[in-house]
Structure 1
């Protein structure tokens, strides 16, 4: 997927996101369905702690080692969704096809993951007897520029600390439509309508980009040890928006 010519030319964000997943060896064994369905990132949840998400009475990240946890959408459970392909799929308005004993249904990827505010024990809309069989991308509109960028602790395989998927449609160098989705900072791929509003109808000059970066983190609620994610995310937003205006991406 990372190297597929059609995906690279039409849906660059997805190609870049796929290239950031794990290592080449793991990518060759895995599937994109598995990537969007993987368990959230939290060493308490993945470990032996009987946390709130497992039916316990508390989230151990609160007051614990929370440097990698979320700054948006915690709602008593501060996991981070680790997928690098889900944010581009949300930005590109993809749909998943789900099959089970009751038949087939289609769900936008933007509604596939369940945030803790709705149900902190449910991760996706999949029932126990259902599975993802297809992911459908709509045709790329004229003027689309998309990208995915993540910041991680090391250049080798690692999870996103803060990242962003962009899908922006331009006309005469002005943003006509934008979908902006963050990775590494929330329990689900986190769509930033604040950034979308800040840039739609405008050219991505330095002033507009600075306002968008401010809007990106205005509602962030960092924990005791992950406030650094705010500056990381601001930097990603600024760099990727400026790159989108020029048609280039450092991602």
Structure 2
């Protein structure tokens, strides 16, 4: 892969964005993705686990965005590690449910407000000597209790939530940052983001400001945008 294409891919991993101009309302949903954090203080946040795939389905209807996220993690080390799953919640996002499945077993998660979440982020930074999590200060947090992650065995995470979208004149902005993927120890084999938008008014213009994304129109008031990539590098763009 050329350097220019590699940088473009990294940009998309950090900020997946599509804007839709309509004749009436405008919506602006935003999301985030989760990460695995080892419990032991001597094990850093990154380098001991990898994301094998990351699938996102976003459905926008009448200013309500329903987001479904499926991720699979794997322990890349040689021994079992005890981990917790953290899901940063963007300001304004109202998550109605979260499910974490590990080898068929469900683990409940606790929702923390932004102030409490900031204390958690700062505590992990002190413990791990890794300041990267501080960029989520101001975000809320879904946090699971600790669970074992066996070497080579996958852990499937399913997250579902709904959020009320904001209006911005006549533009519908669908934004899904995949920023926590930078902690993955290996390239991600499969990344798919699918957005299904239906408006009460005709959709006049569809565009992505920086990336070519296939758009399938399903009529004057509905469209489906899909991005798919394989073997995405884990290092973030500076």
* Superposition TM-score tier, normalisation by shorter sequence: under 0.3
More helix by share: 1
- The structure with higher relative contact order (CA 8 Å, sep 6+) is 2
The structure with the greater share of residues assigned to strand is: 2
TM-score (structure 1 length as normaliser): 0.25
